[in-house]
Amino acid sequence: MNPAQRAAATAPAPVLVLAGAGSGKTETLIRRVADLILGGEPPDRLLCITFTAKAASEMRRRLAALLGPERTPRWVGTFHAVMARLLIEDGAGIPGLPRGFAILGQSDARELLMQAAGTQDRKAAGLLQEAVSLLKNGLVTNPRRLPRSAALSRFEPEVLAQAAAVLPAYRSALAGRQALDFDDLIALPVAAMRADPALAAHWSARWAEILVDEYQDTNHAQHALVRLLAGKPGRVFAVGDDLQAIYGWRGADVAHIRRFGKDYRTAPPALKLETNYRSSPTILRAANAIAAEDPEALPKLLRPADPKAPPGPSITIREALTPEDEGRGAVAWLKALRRRQPELPWRACAVLVWAGFVAEPILAALRQAGVPARLVTDREPEPPKEVLAVIAWLRLAMSRSRGSKPGADVWEPTADDAFRRACAFPARGIGGALFGRLREHAAERDLALAAAVATLPATPAERQGLEAVLGVAGEIADGVARQTLGPADALRLAAEASEIAERLGPDGKLGHAWAAALRAAEHAGSVAVYCDGAALGAMPGEAEPADAVQVLTLHRAKGLEFDHVLLAGLEEGVWPNWQAEQQGAIAEERRLFYVGVTRARHSLQLSWVRHRRDWASKPSRFLAEIPKALTEAGVVSGRVKVSRPASRTTAVQPARPVKPPTQAETDRLVAEFTARKAAKAPR
C-alpha cells in the first residue's frame, strides 16, 4: 500500500477516509480488517457493511484469500443482510418482531401494499411503494408529519398523502403475515434501540469496530443505525467519496459524509486517498476541474500513480444532429478503437447514459453494424428460485449439529429462513397453515423451526412431509462431513440430494445462473464461510458477461471501470435533466457526470445531440466545465454558452416545482384520501 493507504488502514477509529475514484479504497478497507485480526481482534468482533451483495461477496473472497477461511469475518454483508442476521440471532423480545419472521421481496411486498391500498394499478402501486419506502427510511413515526427531503420532493403531494395514509394499514398487513420488508430490517432495529438504551448498549458491545464502505450513500435510517451500533466510543471506520454521492433520489444524504466530524467529535480530519490507479492524467485533470465547480465538496485532488505517466489521449466532444447520428458515431468510435487495437475486447468499452431512452438508438446502431452489445439494466436480477433453493438446502444442512443420542440433533435458528425455503421447494405438501402452526410452536418453546418439528402436534402426513425435509438435510450434512467437500462440491451434493439437480441444465438462463453460483462457491474457501456469506445474501454468484460492449446507466456503472468510455446524451434538459433543475439537484447531476468521467481508464468521448426528439437542444453546461486544453483540437472552442431549449413537447418533460406539503395540507389530503377509501368500501 502507499503511505496514505497505510495511514488509513492503521488509524484509530473513529475515522473517515475520503477515497477518490480509483484510489484503492477496497484494498485499504480489506487490509485494515486483516491488520485488526492479525493483531488479535476476533473476526466476529468486526462488522463490515457494504451496499451490494456483489461487493460483499468480493470482500469475503479477498479476505478469505488473505487470512484463510477460518479467520474470515462472518459479519460481512449489506445493511439489510447483516441486520436480518442480527434480528434472527439476537432479536428475541423486540416489539413488533415476529419469531421466525419472513422477509418479503420487492414484488411480494408490492402485492401486500396493493391490498392495503385497495388498488390493482401496478404502475401506481410501484410509485406508492417508492414513497412508502422513503417514509420508512426517513424513520417517519407520525404519518401526518412528513419530513422535508430532496427525495420526497419528486413526488406529488397526493402521492405522499396516500403513502402516509396507507402506511399503518400496510404495517398491519405485514404483521398479519409475520413478515418484514427490506426497509423494516433497518427501521425496526433503529426504533427498538432508540426505545431501549439497554438493547442499544447490548448490540453495540458485540463489535469492536464497524467498517462502512460507500458511506456517502447512507440514508437517514442507515446513518442512525451506524451511530447507534457504534455507541459512545464511535468505533466507526467510514470510507467514501462525497463526489460520488448520486443516490439522493432514493433517500441517500451526502450531508452524512460531510458532517462526519460533527457526528464523531473525537475523529481527526478526514484522511485522503488521492492517488488514482485507474485513469490517465488527462482524465484526472478533467475530473478535478468538474469537482472544483462544487463549492461544498470536501477538498480532494486526484493524482496519477505515476507522476511521469504520459497524459493520454485528449477528451473528444462530439456533436450529433440526431440520436441516430449519435448511434452511428458510437459505431465509428468503437471500430476506430478496434483498428488501433485489434485484440481489444468489446467488454473493455462502455456507453454510459443518464436515461434508457438515450441508449435505445445507440443500441440499435451497434446491433445493425454487427457490434456485440449488452444492455445492463439498473435492477440486478434475482437468482432463480432453483438456485436459491439449493443454497438454502446446504445452509439448512450445515446448521445441524449431531446430538449424543439418535434423534437429538441440534438445529440453529439462524437457518430458519433456509428451512422455510427448503420446505417450499421442491414442493412436499407443506402448506401455509401447517407452517404457521410450526412457527407458533417454535416461538412458544424458543426453538429453531427445524428443532420444533419433533414435538409439533401433527397428522402422520404432515409429520412425514416435515421429517422428509430434515432427512434430506441430514443426508447432505453427513455427505459433506464424510467426504470433506469444498463449497462447490457441497452445493452439487445439495442439488442432487434435494432432487433439484435435474432442473439445473447446462444451457439457458437457469444453467448460467447455476454455473455462476458454483464459481462463487469455489472462491469461498470453506463450506462454513460460504454458508455464512449466503446467509448475508452475498454468495449467489453472477453470470460471466459475454464479450460485448457494455451499455448502461450511470447509476448502474458506479463501482465499475472500462478502458474506453462514451458518455452520451449530454444536453440541457437531459443531463442535467429538467426535474433536477426544478428541484435544486444540479449538484448531484454534476456528481453523476464526475462518476461517468472517472469510469474511464484510457480514453473518454462525450457526445450530445442537436435535435433530441422534437426539440432543439443545447450542449450540457457540464461540457463547459472541462478545460479546453484537455479536449480534442477543433471540437469545442471556448466555453459553451448554455440556454434552455426554445420549445419542447414530450419525452423528458419538465416537472413542475413540487415541495413537500405543509402540515395543514397533509392533514387535509390524508383526511380526503381516507374518506374516499371509506366511501368506496363495500357495506
Residue 661 has pLDDT above 60, yes or no: no
Handedness of CA 652, 657, 659, 665 (dihedral sign): negative
For residue range 370-395, list pLDDT tens digits in order: 999 999 876 666 788 899 999 999 99
Rounded CA separation 166/670 (Å): 9
Q: Give the residue carrying C-alpha cell 444540479.
A: 586
- Residue 536: the pLDDT is 74
Q: Which of 606, 610, 635 is nearest to 623 (CA)?
A: 606
| Confidence label for 648 from pLDDT (cuts 50, 70 and 90) | very low
Residue 452 has pLDDT above 70, yes or no: yes
Residues 6 or more apart in contact with residue 257 via CB below 8 angstroms: 16, 215, 216, 218, 238, 240, 241, 242, 245, 298
In Å, what is the CA distance from 534 to each residue of 373, 489, 529? 31, 16, 9
Mean pLDDT of 482-491: 93
Give the range among 47-56, 190-199, 303-312 with minimum mean pLDDT. 47-56
| Confidence label for 670 from pLDDT (cuts 50, 70 and 90) | low
Q: Give the rounded percent of residues in the chain with a pLDDT score beyond 70.
A: 89
HSE value, Cβ hemisphere, 13 Å, CA-based, for 403? 9
- Residue 393: the pLDDT is 96
3-state DSSP assignment of residue 275: strand
- Residue 273: the pLDDT is 98
- Residue 639: the pLDDT is 34
Is the CB of residue 167 less than 8 Å from the CB of residue 135?
yes
| Confidence label for 177 from pLDDT (cuts 50, 70 and 90) | confident
Rounded CA separation 430/485 (Å): 30
Mean pLDDT of 47-65: 89
The pTM assigned to this predicted structure is: 0.84
Chain mean pLDDT for the chain: 88
- Residue 140: the pLDDT is 84
For residue range 513-545, list pLDDT tens digits in order: 898 889 888 877 789 888 888 877 766 666 666
Q: Helices 385-398 and 527-535 sit at what angle, rounded to 10 degrees?
A: 120
| Confidence label for 656 from pLDDT (cuts 50, 70 and 90) | very low
Alpha-helix residue ranges (DSSP H) falling in 341-459 = 356-368, 385-398, 416-424, 432-445, 449-452
- Residue 403: the pLDDT is 64
Give the range among 57-66, 310-319, 598-607 with minimum mean pLDDT. 57-66
Q: Give the residue carrying C-alpha cell 485522503.
A: 272
- Residue 153: the pLDDT is 85
- Residue 538: the pLDDT is 67
Residue 647 has pLDDT above 50, yes or no: no
Mean pLDDT of 105-114: 90
- Residue 178: the pLDDT is 84
Q: Which of 77, 29, 16, 102 is nearest to 432 (CA)?
A: 102
Is the CB of residue 236 less than 8 Å from the CB of residue 212?
yes
Rounded CA separation 672/345 (Å): 59
Rounded CA separation 523/64 (Å): 8
| Confidence label for 676 from pLDDT (cuts 50, 70 and 90) | low
Residue 683 has pLDDT above 70, yes or no: no
